[in-house]
Amino acid sequence: MVNQSVHTLLVPTITESLLIPSAVVAEVVIVTNLVPLPAGPDWCSGLAAWRNRALPVVSIEVLTGKPYVPPGPRSKFVVFFPLPGCHESQFFAIQSLTEPQPNNISDTRGMVVETPNLPLAASALNLDGVIGIIPDLVWLKETLYPAS
């Protein structure tokens, strides 16, 4: 049996730590100024400039029913590639409290914990005492891009 590992990033937010496969992340960038989107959905913190495009920044806090938290001095934006079924230009970002931490996960025995009661959560793993929420990318796509 071949021991395969999954490269991930543990992304700390105010409410949860997300465990995201590195394959869906385009880049981690320094926080730039957010341009408010007054008529946008409540989960959109604003638009950030990234590689000559306007990048919507998603508030995980708002998506999980918590109040919005503005970026702090150590915050980063984790830029996602377009989700499956989305247009190739539909990049988006989430705000991380600090620099996301890389992980290689090769065996989840003993790491799987009860999935939190959040629509965002597909599963969760215990990584040395930190619970990493594995986001449900289908739910995320349907929430962010309901017309896709």
Q: Domain residues of the chain, as ranges?
A: 6-144
Coil, helix or strand for 137? helix
Residues 45 and 2: their CA atoms lie apart, in Å, by 42
The ranges of the chain with pLDDT < 50 are 1
Q: In what order do the strands lie in the sheet with 121-127?
A: 101-105, 6-12, 17-21, 130-135, 121-127
Query: Which string of b and e fits 88-103 if b means at least 16 CB within 10 Å?
Result: eebbbbbbbbeebbeb
What is the reported pLDDT for 94?
94
Q: Identify the bridge partners of residue 17 per DSSP, sorted by sequence position.
A: 12, 132
Q: In what order do the strands lie in the sheet with 76-80?
A: 25-30, 76-80, 92-96, 53-58, 44-50
- Cα distances from 141 to residues 107, 124, 138, 147, in angstroms, run 27, 19, 5, 10
pTM of the full predicted structure? 0.89
Q: Provide CATH code, domain 6-144.
A: 2.40.50.180
What is the reported pLDDT for 3?
62
What is the reported pLDDT for 55?
93
Among 95, 89, 115, 124, smallest CA distance to 8 is for 124
Which ranges of 14-72 would DSSP assign to H, the alpha helix? 60-63
